[in-house]
Structure 1
Amino acid sequence: MTEQSPAPSPDDLSAGPADPEHDSTATYALDRSYVDRLTRRVVSTTGSTDAVFSPIGGTPLAHVPQSSAADVTEAFARARRAQASWADTPLDERAAALLRLHDLVLDRQEELIDLVVWESGKARKDAYLEVAHVALTARYYARTAHQHLDTRRVGGMFPVLTRAEVHRVPKGVVGIISPWNYPLTMALCDGLPALLAGNAVVSKPDAQTMLTALLGAELLEEAGLPSGLWQVVAGPGPEVGGAVVAAADYVCFTGSTATGRVIARQCAERLVGCSLELGGKNPMLVLRDADVHRAAEGATRAVFSNAGQLCVSMERLFVADQVYDRFVDAFVSRTQAMTLGASQDWSVDMGSLISQAQLDTVTRHVEDAVAKGARVLTGGRARPDLGPFVFEPTVLEGVSADMECFGKETFGPVVALYRFHGEDEAVDRANDGLYGLNASVWTRDAARGRALARRIRCGTVNVNEAYGATFGSLAAPMGGMRESGLGRRQGAEGIHRYTEAQSVATQRLVPIAPVLGMSEEVNARVMTSALRLLHRLGRA
């Protein structure tokens, strides 16, 4: 693997992050006035802050104000006041704001990418994909606003006599709890359809990536959204996240399955809806007729994008016997050629893990597998010389069910290779386990790949691609089956989740009841005759 030197950092940070609050010599990565401008958007009256450091050299980034439960209550109060008038704003005006955001994020992409990389440590090319996805999402929902939200006429009980229509009514204030791994995409993209549908948002981003989320909130206001419509709170999940769940009219959460279960129970108690994108142990299938080199290239992206810290990345590769050896040679060769580092440079192929906790998990999974007999084909080591949380892209062979990385999500740059003999076996092994988020199938016969995809119990399946084909197809819903979650983002489902379907029916001329002194018995016979007639006429 090619090495990329880390970004320069102060000497006193080489052994770990300093505490800039008590160290006047600490050098911040970002201009303090810039950070202060962003952090003023946090709803906070506590006077307490949380120090945030970059995975790039442990460089100090900011002190983020912390919110209390009372601050969350205030954020919801502000959001509700703004939402009342926003819901009455014409749909075309709401859509126009999203189109302005589309242009803003493209115009400000360098600033956004810089901030994403500083906060997450990911490769710059991976950070750019976040900008692109926000632009895609904003444009898709703006252009399809009427398709999803206009009042829809439906068939009434009786032709001519009954007029029925369905309205889409906003939920009110949506609570969005977003993770650190895609700080721009996850902070904004789930909220854009909520806004378009007439809702307000209270957002609780992860503590490590608050600045990116706050810049996103600033751009929303620059795009013309009313002040107060998008509120941001900060603080520990159990306290601040719990308060968001307790107050929201709908909850959107992306994170672990364990936390998702807690949120689902809390929402059930309150009888409010939620969508949950949770864990995954995603499989990739390389069939006997696959283009081996194309599949190997796709596998490097499937496994190592964002250092494997991607909910839809692959952690299990099932390869047909007929091509196994050739695929492994090509895949390992490509993996070893990757450029590693923790910096802002475009030349980095794979960046850093985000934290010591992630590094500990990845290290533990690899060491456990090796201790129990797995073989490391490449990688397998932390690289503190490149950055405090950099871990080499790692390919394992011989992983078995007694190893921690066999069924548990690693969420890092580690993949296990397995042979398969027949496609039925491959599908069964892909479906093994508790998760069902994303899968990938590689074959020269696309129709065969699509047929196989329908047998895999995952919310998205990509043929001859890793995850980008479904992730970037905004009209296609995305989400998990089984313990990978509830609900869907993107497409019609991604905006309808933030609305209540309200049916309004108007009856004309005669009531749906006996008329002119008709008895109930006679009315039943008349109704029966009418039902038979409608059936013969082919009415729904």
Structure 2
Amino acid sequence: MSAQSPTPEPMVTGPHDPEHDPKASYALEPEYVEALTARIVSTTGATSPTYSPIHGQPLANIPQSSVDDVAEAFRRARRAQAAWARTSLDDRAQMLLRLHDLVLDRQDEIVDLICWETGKARKHAFEEPVHIALTARYYGRTAHRHLDSERRLGILPLLTRAEVNRVPKGVVGIIAPWNYPFSLALCDGLPALLAGNAVVTKPDAQTMLTALLGAQLLEEAGFPKDLWQVVAGPGRELGTPLIKSSDYVCFTGSTATGKVIAQQCAERLIGCSLELGGKNPLLVLRDASVERAAEGAIRASFASAGQLCMSTERIFVADQIYDRFVERLVARTEALSLGASLDWDVDMGTLISPDQVETVTAHVADALAKGARVLTGGKARPDLGPYYYEPTILEGVTPDMTCFAEETFGPVISLYRFHDEADAIDRANAGRYGLNASIFSQDGDRARWIARQIKAGSVNINEAYGATFGSVDTPMGGMRESGMGRRQGGEGIHRFTETQAVATQRLLRFSPQFGLSEETYAKVQTANFRLLKKLGRA
């Protein structure tokens, strides 16, 4: 669909109002689904059904791509990229700014689709269009800062002009996850497009429609049709062909899969950025506001039902305020509303699949069997829907329990006391991950000093995750087994470019002139270098 084409209206079979029975059957209009799925490169004739986790109802039949379809997607993308690389930077930036407006204008449609496909609460789904709007506006406004050629020092002042160009890599492959299906389907690709690349993306099978809506909005914003290709199918079948054809790969998902992708990229000597697992800590220092820390911990732990890579799973609390903090945290958790609704009155939605329910249930059962205590929650809620699980707080978790060090990726947190801040830092840094952390304290300087000692790619102070997540001028990514590379900021766009050095030599050449011998020429150059040092030149 072009930017001038009429936009199909998203429709549901039941009315969308707060009084409507949340268990009523929602269904997308076939015409709407057909318009979205037509963007998939698929010649197989095969389809795969998708279901809403809210009540297990069918949403769509998704056309499936073959290995040959992946090759065709890259063929189209490379052809489009050759022309796109010649498009002016100002024109590319303007398309991002148009996308910003489109996303904000269509946010209700986007959020509805996110809720249908993931089952998350509307207030958490709202974060996704906001993040994409921020990302589009940021790169649209800072395009020249990141991509203009830069003058550098030449070897000889005035006689050598040196500069660095940012050259697009070509076609970027993106393997996107299900947990933030709009944000993570687009946020890596936007700077890739601005840098002059094309994109071939494989969204997760559970959330294809949301990712396809993102592709539709890109086209409506003015991006060329073939510049953003979408394929659909199992990662075990399409992942390797996608990596073999890409010039750079972005992946968000599990650490185990990330390691495989890193190996495949290394074999081809291409770069990759990987945002992987986490076991994120939150530190509540003795001077923290108990109420603010408890509120922040709720969002840090139970946003999107804990299915957020930045989500907190371990909370370390100073002895002096531990009991008061736990009392407020439990009370706030028990006050959360769970349910199936597309409206704003639900605090936490559902897990996305039976696999997630199985993992969460197993982690809690293992902890209880080995002596941990449930302060609240601790059980599935099939009365609400097939994959609902209560927000759960555990105490007494020990290293022999699975949830102590392994990522749960669900609404389960473990509480730990600490007396000495150095001990809390050591415990927060324990394990193999290092993605996100939070610190609550009324002493900002001290909290920032502690943050420098935390092994995490991002640290939020007096906030759960939104401060770094929304600050798109700052890089975001993981340390250790939480990944490599960064999205956002300058690092987030420079990864999609090759740096090219160009130097122009004027008047003098780098060889003897004016009758000088090689020996005399070497002495003259040595004297020049000594003089340049005395003059303070780098």
TM-score (norm 2): 0.96
Contact 1:281 1:315 in 2 (8 A): yes
Structure 1 residue 5 displacement after superposition: 10
1:45 & 1:236 partners in 2: Cα distance? 16
The residue type paired with residue 379 of structure 1 is G
Q: Deviations over 1:147-168 (max 9, x none)?
A: 0000111111110110001000
- Map of 1:163 onto structure 2: 161
Instruction: Determine helix, strand or coil for the equivalent of 1:383.
Output: coil
Match of 1:8, as an amino acid?
K
Residue number in structure 2 paired with 1:467 = 465
CA positional deviation for 1:518: 2.2
Change (3 A) 1:241 1:172: same
Q: How does 1:230-249 map to 2 (within 5 A)?
A: 230-249=228-247
- Equivalent in the alignment of 1:260: 258
Aligned equivalent of 2:377: 379
CA distance in 2, matches of 1:125, 1:49: 32
8 Å CA contact retained: 1:6, 1:57? no
Listed as ranges, the matches of 1:359-370 within 5 Å are 359-370=357-368
Alignment-derived partner of residue 399 in structure 1:
397
Question: Which structure 1 residue ranges, 5 or more long, are not aligned?
Answer: 11-27
1:45 matched residue in structure 2:
43
In 1, distance between residues paired with 2:475 and 2:393? 31
Q: Residue 327 of structure 1 aligns to a residue in which SS? A: helix
Contact kept, 8 Å, 1:379 with 1:394, in 2: the verdict is: yes
Give the conservation status (yes or no) of the 8 Å contact 1:75–1:202. yes
Match of 1:518 in 2: 516
2:23 corresponds to = 8
- Separation in structure 2 between the aligned mates of residue 75 and residue 491 of structure 1, nearest angstrom: 28
Equivalences for residues 9-24 of structure 1 within 5 A? 9=24
In the other structure, the counterpart of 2:95 is 97
From 182, 203, 206, give the equivalent of 1:205.
203
Please tell me whether the aligned partners of residues 81 and 171 of structure 2 are also in contact (alpha carbons under 8 angstroms). yes
1:118-129 equivalences in 2 (<5 Å): 118-129=116-127
Alignment correspondent of 1:81: 79
Note the residue ranges of structure 2 that are not aligned, 5 or more in a row.
1-18
1:532 to 511, 530, 533: 530
Distance 2:225 2:391 in 1: 44
SS in 2 for 1:340: coil
> In 1, are the aligned partners of 2:74 and 2:245 still within 8 Å (CA)?
yes
Supply the AA of the counterpart residue of 1:112.
I
Q: CA deviation at 1:241?
A: 1.7
Is the CA contact (8 Å cut-off) linking 2:23 and 2:340 kept in structure 1? no
- Aligned mates of 2:512, 2:114 — CA distance in 1: 67
Distance (whole Å) between structure 2 residues aligned to residue 269 and residue 178 of structure 1? 22
- Aligned residue number for residue 12 of structure 2: none
SS at match of 2:257: helix
| Superposed CA offset, 1:331-388 (max 9, x none) | 1110000010122121000000000000100000000000100000000010011111
Cα deviation digits, residues 452-501 of structure 1 (max 9, x gap): 00000100001111111011001000000000001000000000000000
AA of the residue aligned to 1:273: G
CA distance in 2, matches of 1:58, 1:82: 39
Shift of 1:246: 1.0
Alignment of 1:139-154 (within 5 A): 139-154=137-152
- The reply to whether residue 113 of structure 1 matches residue 111 of structure 2 is yes
Aligned to 1:343, which of 341, 357, 360?
A: 341
Matched, 1:331 2:346: no
* Structure 1 CA distance for aligned equivalents of residues 401 and 299 of structure 2: 25
Alignment pair present for 1:321 and 2:319 = yes
Q: Deviations over 1:480-527 (max 9, x none)?
A: 000000100000000000000001000111112222332232222111
Which residue of 1 is the match for residue 278 of structure 2? 280
Indicate the residue corresponding to 1:499 in structure 2.
Answer: 497
CA distance in 2, matches of 1:259, 1:208: 17
Structure 1 residues 424 and 99, CA gap change in structure 2 (3 angstroms): same
Q: Is the alpha carbon distance of 1:94 and 1:53 closer, same or farther for their aligned partners in structure 2, counting shifts above 3 Å?
A: same
Contact 1:398 1:418 in 2 (8 A): yes
Shift of 1:74: 0.1
Report the aligned-residue RMSD.
Answer: 1.1
Matched residue count: 520
Structure 1 segment 352-363 matched on structure 2, within 5 A: 352-363=350-361
The answer for the alignment partner of 1:25 in structure 2 is none
> Equivalent residues in 2 for 1:407-426 (5 A)?
407-426=405-424
Aligned twin of 2:488: 490
**1:444 aligned partner:** 442
Q: Distance in 1 between matches of 2:70 and 2:22?
A: 37
Return closer, same or farther for 1:6/1:172 CA change in 2, 3 Å cut-off: farther
Query: Helix, strand or coil for the counterpart of 1:504?
Result: strand
Q: Deviations along 1:297-331, whole A, 9 cap, x unmatched?
A: 00000000000000001000000001100000011
- Out of 303, 308, 315, the position equivalent to 2:301 is 303
Aligned to 2:287: 289
Distance in 2 of aligned mates of 1:122 and 1:359: 14
For residues 294 and 513 of structure 1, the distance between their equivalents in structure 2, rounded to whole angstroms, comes to 69
Instruction: Supply the distance in 2 between the matched residues of 1:234 and 1:495 (Cα, whole angstroms).
Output: 26
| Contact 1:476-1:490 within 8 A present in 2 as well | yes
Give the secondary-structure state (helix, strand or coil) at the position aligned to 1:141. helix
What's 1:20 paired with?
Answer: none
Q: Is the 8 A contact 1:6 1:387 kept in 2?
A: no
Aligned to 2:63: 65
Aligned to 1:390: 388
Counterpart contact for 1:342–1:390, Cα < 8 Å: no
What does residue 221 of structure 1 align with? 219
The equivalent of 1:22 in structure 2 is: none
Distance 2:498 2:21 in 1: 50
| Structure-1 separation of matches of 2:237 and 2:375 | 43
Is this contact kept in 1: 2:77–2:229, CA < 8 A?
yes
Question: Secondary structure in 2 aligned to 1:95?
Answer: helix
Task: Decide which of 169, 180, 183 is 1:182's aligned counterpart.
Answer: 180
- Give the letter for the 2:151 counterpart: R
Report the 3-state secondary structure (helix = DSSP H, G, I; strand = E; otherwise coil) of the residue aligned with 2:390.
coil
Secondary structure of 1:187's aligned partner: helix
Moved over 6 A (4+): none
Given the two structures, how large is their TM-score scaled by the length of structure 1? 0.95
Conservation of the 8 A alpha-carbon contact between 1:381 and 1:392: yes
Q: What SS does the aligned partner of 2:126 have?
A: helix
Q: Which residue of 2 aligns with 1:21?
A: none
The alpha-carbon deviation at position 243 of structure 1 amounts to 1.2
Q: Is the Cα contact below 8 Å between 1:161 and 1:510 reproduced in 2?
A: yes
The aligned amino acid for 2:379 is R
Distance 1:436 1:6, change over 3 A: farther
- Mapped to 2, the partners of 1:464 and 1:524 lie a distance apart of 60
